Structure 1
Amino acid sequence: MNRIGLHIIIIFSFTSCNLFTVQKEPTSLARVNDAYLYKKDIKLVLPETYTKEDSILLVNNYINNWATNQLLTDQAKINLPQSQLKKFTKLIEDYKKQLYTEAYKDVLISKQLDTLVTTQEIETYYENNKQNFKLNQDLIKLRYIYFANSNIHQEKLEKAFKNYKEEDVAYLKHESLKYISYSLDDSLWISKKSIAEKIPPLSSKTIDEKLKKDKYLQLEDSLGVFLIKINDIRRVNETAPLTYVVPTVKQIILNKRKLEFSKKLEKEIREDALKNKKFEIY
């Protein structure tokens, strides 16, 4: 058995018994020039549940990939121009600093940022920025019920669906278990694509000619009957309804708060460093 295979089996036996311990001299699994891969580096590679064969394959692949990358990196350091290597080193250091600072700011933001966005804030932002909320698809408000052709209460359902008074709504909800599908909440804006998926007779080819505000439709397919009442329509390039863009507006407001908090934090850190002689400008 080769050295790698032996180490893999050692790792498997240790991990299966949860006996990973900190050692004074870490056990090495592979070496590329002056770089070593240790057993502790492999620990996170193995899934919680695995077979012996799976673990051997995973570890072997990891070692081979690590060695390949390490060899290529070493060759790059030898063969690339020094100017390019210096540029890469700076990029790596800059990226490392960015990771640290962004992670630290995220922790502070998660603890201190006010994430409560009031209805008034949302409405104000929407009213002041309506030009930024243009629709890229048609939206429709409607209700519908879809029941089998064999439903003996079809006439009563049609009458209640058209009248839609309080007692009619109660009756329609009471009968809902007998529907193939339905949606009686006509206060929600739904995309034209979603409607075509829920109501196949309203295909993409016929939906535009059939969808009109305040229109009642009765459509059929091989399984049953659709009763549809369209309450409102917003077309492409019209201003999106507030209720439809609330999640987007809320996220915009939170992002603005995060940016303001970040700028304030950076300013306070600089001022504190100047005050305590940790930061000096010459």
Structure 2
Amino acid sequence: MRKQPACVPLCNCYFCGMFFPKINIASIFCAIVVFTLSSCSSLFKEKEEKEPLARVGDTFLYKEDISSLIREDMSAEDSTLFVTDYINNWASKQLLLSKSKINLPEEKLAEFDRLVSDYRADLYTRAYVEALVLKAQDTAVTTSQLRQYYEKEKENFKLNEKLVQLRFVGLPAQFLDKGGVITKMKNWEVEDKNYLDSIAVQFKKIHFNDSIWVSASRVKQEIPLLTSLNEEKYLKKSQFFELEDSLGVYLGKVTDVLEVNDTAPFEYISPDIRQLILNRRRLDYIRKLETEIIDEAIKKNEFEVYEKE
């Protein structure tokens, strides 16, 4: 009679009622340990370790903390000096910080911690609010809105320096027809303007738009021969002036003047009014935003104030 081949012993699985081959538990445990160790080893290898540059107590300064501060145009010597100075400054601050935490009173430390916390919160909230304002704020301001604001607040727009309307040219010292330019600057008919415009390339400086208001300080910057000592003589209404030195000649005609404490003209002050209107809109938007945030938090039960007993 043929002999039956040897069979692998079976065990009865209680949970599923199926039969599985008996397995050496020790072999499984060893396999798991080997697999786990090899996996951990792989994980440790993949984890990038930071390269420390210095240590103060339990605090470390790492290479990556200052790598972005080193400019590409630095030489090797300069970068070495920079890193050395940075490490020394960092160490000094860390040591002083640790000493302060030991030697300062507890109430003072608590006060500083509160200030740091408040400052951190202010930085975050200010950045967030500014982003919302930039996204939502209407920056369009019409001339009508500017004029309406000006008429309403006119008494508050007083000048703190003299303004003038004038035209002037700066001629080089070797310019030949100074007399002709003077005549045309005084007459100022259409043909005079056109002629002076046609030869403007020969002038050192030129300003023919005498309908705009300019501060006296700006005029003195453009015409160095005008000073605080002589401006009362030359910067007055209907005054024609000629100022000359070894470098050239300045010819000018003042058409109008506004003195300190006079009401600022609309054309001159309108850029400031526009900024005032935008600032007011910004503040209104922030107040509205703060109110809406609180109302929404109350509705969602994210904010409540407990009544005092």
Fold in common (TM above 0.5) = yes
Distance in 2 (alpha carbons) for counterparts of 1:166 and 1:48: 59
Between 135-144 and 210-219, report the one with greater CA deviation. Answer: 210-219
Q: How does 1:3-152 map to 2 (within 5 A)?
A: 24-152=48-176
Question: Partner letter of residue 265 of structure 1?
Answer: L
Between 195-204 and 37-46, report the one with greater CA deviation. Answer: 195-204
The sequence identity of aligned pairs, in percent, is 42
State TM-score, norm by structure 1: 0.87
Cα pair distance change 1:154/1:23, threshold 3 Å: farther
Distance in 1 (alpha carbons) for counterparts of 2:276 and 2:61: 45
Distance in 1 (alpha carbons) for counterparts of 2:261 and 2:65: 54
Between 52-61 and 152-161, report the one with greater CA deviation. Answer: 152-161
Q: Is the 8 A contact 1:45 1:59 kept in 2?
A: no
Q: Give the structure 2 partner of residue 18 of structure 1.
A: none
Distance in 1 (alpha carbons) for counterparts of 2:147 and 2:133: 24
What's the RMSD between the two structures over aligned residues?
Answer: 1.7
1:159 maps to 2:175: no
Greater Cα radius of gyration, structure 1 or 2: 2
Between 80-89 and 47-56, report the one with greater CA deviation. Answer: 47-56
Bigger relative contact order (CA 8 A; separation at least 6): 1
State TM-score, norm by structure 2: 0.80
Q: Cα deviation per residue 1:82-102 (whole Å; 9 max; x = unaligned)?
A: 011111111111111111110
1:223 maps to 2:270: no
Q: Cα deviation per residue 1:229-260 (whole Å; 9 max; x = unaligned)?
A: 10111111111222222222121111111111
2:68 counterpart SS class: helix
How many residue pairs end up in the alignment?
A: 261
1:193 maps to 2:217: yes
Distance in 1 (alpha carbons) for counterparts of 2:247 and 2:121: 62
Distance in 1 (alpha carbons) for counterparts of 2:66 and 2:162: 52
Q: Point out where structure 2 has 5 or more consecutive residues left out of the alignment.
A: 1-45
Between 121-130 and 68-77, report the one with greater CA deviation. Answer: 121-130
Question: Partner letter of residue 59 of structure 1?
Answer: V
Question: Partner letter of residue 161 of structure 1?
Answer: M
Q: Is the 8 A contact 1:45 1:58 kept in 2?
A: no
1:172 maps to 2:201: no
Cα pair distance change 1:72/1:169, threshold 3 Å: same
Distance in 2 (alpha carbons) for counterparts of 1:150 and 1:249: 45
